[in-house]
Structure 1
Amino acid sequence: MSSLMKGTAILTVGLFLSKVLGLIYVFPFYAIVGEENMVLYQYAYIPYSIMLSIAISGIPLAVSKFVAKYNAMGDYETGRRLLRSSTKLMLLSGLISFLFLYAMSTPIAHLVISDKKQVFTVEEVADVIKWVSFALIVVPFMSLLRGFFQGYGHYLPTSVSQLIEQIARIIILLGGSFIVVFLLDGDVTTAINFAVFAAFIGAFGGLFVLSYYWKKLKPEFDLKLQQGITPAEKVPLSDLYQEILKYSVPIVFVGLSNPLFQAVDMITFNRTMISIGLAEVTDTYFSMLNFLTHKIVIIPVMLATGFSAALIPTITEYYTLGKYNALRHAMDKTYQVLLFVTVPAVVGIMILSPYIYHVLYEESKMGSAVLAHYAPVAILFALFAVTASLLQGIDYQKWIVFSLLSGVLTKLVLNIPLIKWLQVDGAILATAIGYGVTISINIYVIHKALDYQSIMVRRRVLLIFILTGLMAASVVLAIALLNTFLSPHTKLMAAVYCIVGVSVGAGVYGLISFRIGLAQKLLGARATKIAQKLGFK
């Protein structure tokens, strides 16, 4: 059990560090290429993310599950057969994904660019999609190797390779774009082409790490293969692939959720904005919506789902063993922890949006407004991630496909009329409604399957909102006091406003939470120790 917890911790830390790096690089990259050019980068990454999710999502988990299953029976040969066969399949999958995205680059670009007043041409958007598509050749094969290592209980190769892949990508991305723009005085579009191609180079960095671990661990794998049993009857690979697909398809859809919603914006936002006479600003606004502010909004989602994810394996165990009372208690805690972390973070971002946007990017009324209006959607992002995990935990994963497609269809139907009415806010509202539909279906299925109703959660949610209101009032008061003798019109002063606002908000919310015992009840022993040090019982 301790080795399992250690492995989970290694994977979680590696994934978290990789995601943090994936947020941090945006800010210096923005400084290099400028606001209006960031959208070109996003035009490439939305279709790339969709193809990548289709090509690999679920494969590492599915492969690790079946390798571990047969290893536990002493049948190491079946796992090796699966690796040999899947290697060819993943290489083929990567090649097909690459060729498809490369060939579709111009049609996709035509969906995005429909007016000469836009910042970029069809050719420029098509080029950047072509450059990013090369990464698809390598990544599926890499995901297969990670799954194989995990099946043997080796989690470090996955964690280290993810981290090195991200570090290599960011170094090449920032270094290459800096050299092109500042040292070679080159065109910004060339820099962005190079930046998206960095995903391909980074993938080779991850693959190098995995090859190192393969050489290191292969003697162990070979020894177990020699010592293992010879199965009386070989399991047909077609049966294994059927099971893998059944297991991984819902995970594919979880990975696709955000890219699909962003893809709806990508194919409808610009055309709708152009139709109402806003062609000159549509690219910049799209970048603010689906890239610049999204990178900030996703931070509380990472925190909340990180806390909640630890409870998901417990929920799966309780469901499998039929311990439904314990299961409902764990679900109560999951929802509460999620909202306890997310709600105050979202409200804090909304209040401090002018200063956060200024510090990370530049002073912009439009940018800060988009951030403030988009921030509440983070609660829905977190709820979707957790409810989808709960559905997987109770073996109702097929509903994830239905609920997500329902939400995306809702977004697609509402996006154009709402953008015509509210511009950027219309796209945000359509996303919120779409996710709301998806989450409502997920919650309905979970509650119906488990006969789950909780008055306690409702009371705690109300309490969390009251505490958040007190926190918000304290932050607004602190900002008002700062305004009497300071001005936030430089990055340094905006940073001061952020630091003061976050410190006051976290202090008020944290102290009240500890004082009434809510933090201790939700966050466990560690929070209790902190409360004791602060003098609270």
Structure 2
Amino acid sequence: MQNQENNLNEDIAQDKMLKGSAWMTAGSVFSRILGALYIIPWNMILGGLYLQANALYVQGYNVYSLILIISIAGIPSAIAKQVAHYNALNEYGVSVRLYKRGVLLSVIMGILCALFLYFFSPLIDNGNPDLIPVMRSLSWAVLIIPTMSLTRGYFQGFQDMAPSALSQFVEQLFRVIYMLIAVFFIIKVLRGSWVTAVSQSTFAAFIGALAGLLILAWYYFRRRKYYRSLIRNSNNQLHVNANKLYLEIIQQAVPFVILGAGIAIFQLIDQYTFFNIMHVSTSASNKVLDQLYAIFAGNANKLIMITISLASSVAITVVPLLSESYTRGNKKEISHQVSAGFVLFSFIMIPAALGMTAIAGPLNRLFYTNVNGALSANVLAFSSIVSISFGLFTVLSAMMQGISQNKVAVKYFVYGAIAKIITQFPMVYFFKEFGPLLSSAIGFMVVNMLIIGSLDRQFKFRNDKMLSQINWIILFSLVTYFVAITAVYAGNLLVSLGMNQYGRIGSGIVVAFASLLGGLVYVYLTLKSRIADTVLGHKAETLRRKLHIG
């Protein structure tokens, strides 16, 4: 009887994880794709100024990302975790009070961090005065994004991922629309400065955030009656005072800041060291260094963040589920969820990263034309491989937070950051623009191995079944890679018969052909072998029937 109950709980948890991951994956991926597609018209409008403008854009966004993470202070993920904790105790009234206290805290943090970014931007411009207007334009977004992110965390605490997913997409949609209209008007109509165009491109973050917040507000008011019914039927035995609620939020939030800023911190290390190291190791001009920086930190990073967002969607889903299991003290359930999280991560991330590696050449030409073609494509291919370690860190740190082991996770991240800093100079000195990616990979590998070891010691999640599933996924991903890269060569040959295979249209056709063929092969192999069943559950059988796979 106990085993049946455990199996039922595992199935319910698996369904929640899959449903949540589906919503978060859809919202995150579509918003990331939209956030990458804008590059094509943005590039066309700016023309020869593109790489210089992109380098400025990326440097501004890197600083903004860190300030934004500090302003958010990990509160959304902390709220999601604590809301799930109190919901598991049937204390929905405490969850609602927690959210309301969190809103006040997020508003205060948003104001303070926005003021800091606006007034202190001349002190953190890295010697580039063009960065000042860019960072000041981003300070407006810092005002409201903490509240928007907090509200997303509240919905996620109820395992309700749809509001977050839709608001992400709407946020990105309005951001891109404003950005392209503003840049076109400044460059083509007014013949204005490219620095002004970049400043308006970054101000678009505020426009998008405002739209995303309105979507969340609509969802919240639409579901008020449901939340009120949960409160009425709560146990209402816990009475947590306001100060304790604030303390809980802060205790949970601080580690989330450091871990949530992990990738941003590594990127800032690159931003503030790359140029100096390159000046020592080469005689390249500042303009050339701007272009190299834009290639690895801007161009490649925008595309690999699409695949990393897949991992993020898994990470966000697993936190409240693990928190519920941890609250109940069910180690077996935690072990199952950690294993399921690893398999789900591998199922999505590995083929996506290897697939992007295979199509790096035409994909780079599609988005960035053939300027610095071979170098840009090689950097993108290498970045795609490295992105697996980035994505794994996102999932692992979320798992540690879900089981309230934030301090341990932060300690391991510090070790990884030290490894990044130690290896940064030799890697950049010898491998130039590939160096920052290598040192980041080393840093995240250190963190990942330490966390995996810690989780396995506690919950024994590594088992033969899980390892076998991941091995098959890696094998199928490698097959997909070889199919995709063969399709790229064949596609280039076929396209060259009728048009320029190195142009945007020709490259787009090759990307679509190789992606479709590789994707179909991966889907077929995982469905045929039944590996997909462990991730998709009963939906895999439905797909097999529809696709006539025996």
* TM-score where L is the length of structure 1: 0.84
Matching of residue 366 in structure 1 with residue 366 in structure 2: no
Report the Cα distance in structure 1 between the residues aligned to 2:452 and 2:209, rounded to whole angstroms: 37
Gaps in structure 2 of 5+ consecutive residues: 1-11
2-structure distance, mates of 1:305, 1:449: 24
For 2:65, the equivalent position in structure 1 comes to 49
Q: Which amino acid aligns with 2:63?
A: P
Q: Who is 1:182 aligned against? A: 188
CA distance in 2, matches of 1:491, 1:63: 44
Paired residue type of 2:139:
S
- Tell me the distance in 1 between the aligned counterparts of 2:530 and 2:481: 20
1-structure distance, mates of 2:95, 2:488: 63
Point out which structure has higher relative CO (alpha carbons under 8 A, 6+ apart). Answer: 2
Q: Do 1:76 and 1:228's aligned partners in 2 also have CA atoms closer than 8 Å? A: no
Does 1:414 find its partner at 2:423?
Answer: yes
1:474 maps onto 2:483 in alignment = yes
Tell me how far 1:150 sits from its aligned partner: 7.0
User: How far apart, in 1, do the equivalents of 2:41 and 2:229 lie?
Assistant: 48
- RMSD of equivalent CA atoms: 3.7
What is the rounded CA distance, in whole Å, between the counterparts of 2:485 and 2:84 in structure 1?
53
The whole-number CA distance in structure 2 between the counterparts of 1:206 and 1:357 is 30
1:454 to 451, 458, 463: 463
Deviation at residue 437 of structure 1 after TM alignment: 0.8
Contact 1:62/1:248 (<8 A) preserved:
yes
1:525 to 524, 534, 538: 538
How far residue 267 of structure 1 moved from its aligned partner, in angstroms, is 0.4
| Residue type at the aligned position of 1:23 | A
Match of 2:338 in 1: 331
Q: 46-55 vs 145-154, which deviates more?
A: 145-154
CA distance, structure 2, for counterparts of residue 82 and residue 433 of structure 1: 38
What is residue 297 of structure 1 aligned with on the other side?
Answer: 304
SS in 2 for 1:448: helix
d(CA) in 2 for partners of 1:494 and 1:143?
37
For 1:440, the equivalent position in structure 2 comes to 449
Counterpart position of 2:390: 381
1:201 aligns with 2:178: no
Please state whether the residue corresponding to 2:124 is helix, strand or coil: helix
The CA deviation at 1:528 is 2.4
Does the 8 A contact of 2:84 with 2:320 survive in 1?
no
Displacement of 1:11 in angstroms is 6.4
Question: CA, structure 1 residues 31+409, in 2 after alignment: closer, same or farther (shift >3 Å)?
Answer: farther
- CA deviations 1:185-228 (Å, max 9, x no partner) are 11111111111112223333344455666777779989999x89
Q: CA deviation at 1:69?
A: 7.4
Counterpart code for 2:275: N
What letter matches 1:30 in structure 2? N
Q: Paired residue for 1:341, among 338, 343, 348?
A: 348
- Provide the C-alpha distance between the structure 2 equivalents of 1:341 and 1:9, rounded to a whole number of angstroms: 11
Give 2:526's aligned amino acid: S
- Match of residue 130 from structure 2: 124
Note closer, same or farther for the CA distance 1:533–1:142 as it changes in structure 2 (3 Å cut): closer
Query: Which residue, out of 512, 523, 535, partners 2:525?
Result: 512
Q: CA deviation at 1:323?
A: 4.7
Q: Distance in 2 between matches of 1:479 and 1:153?
A: 40
Closer/same/farther in 2, CA of residues 70 and 316 from structure 1, 3 Å limit: closer
The question of whether the paired residues in 1 share the 8 Å contact of 2:21 and 2:313 is answered with no
With 7-16 and 473-482 compared, the bigger mean Cα shift is at: 7-16
Farther-moved stretch of structure 1 (282-291 vs 16-25): 16-25
Q: Secondary structure at the match of 2:52?
A: helix
- Please tell me whether the aligned partners of residues 254 and 388 of structure 1 are also in contact (alpha carbons under 8 angstroms): yes
C-alpha distance in 2 between matches for 1:40 and 1:130: 13
Q: Distance in 1 between matches of 2:161 and 2:488?
A: 46
Q: Is 2:514 the counterpart of 1:501? A: yes
Q: Is the 8 A contact 1:177 1:194 kept in 2?
A: yes
Which SS does the other structure have where 1:349 is aligned?
helix
Does the 8 Å CA contact 2:77/2:256 hold for their aligned counterparts?
Answer: no
2:404 maps to 395
Distance 2:272 2:249 in 1: 32
1:444-471: per-residue Cα shift (whole Å, max 9, x none)?
1111112344234444444333333333
**2:35 maps to which residue?**
22
1:298-339: CA deviation from partner (whole Å, max 9, x where unpaired): 223333554676566555555554554454344333323322
Q: CA distance change for structure 1 residues 79 and 476 in 2, over 3 Å: closer, same or farther?
A: closer
Verify the 8 A CA contact 2:40 2:368 in the aligned structure 1: yes
* Residues 1:484 and 1:124: Cα distance change in structure 2 (over 3 Å): closer
What is the distance in 2 between the residues matched to 1:294 and 1:50?
A: 16
Residues 1:454 and 1:197: Cα distance change in structure 2 (over 3 Å):
same
* TM-score when normalising by structure 2: 0.83
1:50-65 equivalences in 2 (<5 Å): 50-63=66-79
- Structure 2 match to 1:119: none
Instruction: Give CA deviations for 1:414-466 in whole Å, capped at 9, x if unaligned.
Output: 11221011001111100100110111111111111123442344444443333
Corresponding position of 2:3: none
Provide the C-alpha distance between the structure 1 equivalents of 2:312 and 2:238, rounded to a whole number of angstroms. Answer: 43
Q: Which residue of the partner structure matches residue 117 of structure 1?
A: none
2:108 is equivalent to residue 99 of structure 1: no
* 3-state secondary structure, aligned to 1:376: helix
Secondary structure in structure 2 of the residue aligned to 1:123: coil
